[in-house]
Amino acid sequence: MVDASIAHKVVGYFSHSPKGYVFCNGDACIIAGTESLMHSYIQAMLICDDGTKKEKSMVRKTKFGEILTGLARGGSYAFDKEAYLRFSSFSKKYELDNFPEPEDFFSKQSPTGLHFIRIQLSGA
C-alpha cells in the first residue's frame, strides 16, 4: 500500500468524454504532463477528416495512487515524458523499480512529435 502522502501527488492529466470514454493511444490511457499538453494531444489526435472534433473532452488531474490502482486492475497507461518523469520518481520512492528508466526511452523524438511510453503490469 502506498502512503497517502504520495498517493495524492499529481502525476499528470488525463481526458475523458462526458459519456466516460477515456482518451487513449491504442488501449492505453494517455497521461500528459500538463493540461496544455493534453489539449495539444487531443487537438492532434481527435480531429475528423472534415476538420471537426469527434467529441468534447474534459481534462482533469490524475494522481499517483489512481494510476497504481488502475495498473493493479489491468489498465495500461501511455505517459508523455513529463508525466513519466513524475511517475518514475514517485515509483522509486516506494521501490517500485520494475519500470523502464526514462532516459532509456525518451532519448529520441518521434517523427510525429507525439511520444509516449506504454506501461502495463504483466499478470494483472
Q: Between these two residues, 54 and 68, which has the higher pLDDT value? A: 68
Q: Are 34 and 84 in contact (CB under 8 A)?
A: no
pTM reported for the whole predicted model: 0.82
* Residue 109 domain boundaries: 4-120
**Overall domain count for the chain:** 1
Note the pLDDT tens digit of each residue in 27-54.
999 999 999 999 988 888 875 555 545 5
Note the pLDDT tens digit of each residue in 15-25.
998 888 899 88
Average pLDDT of span 68-90: 93
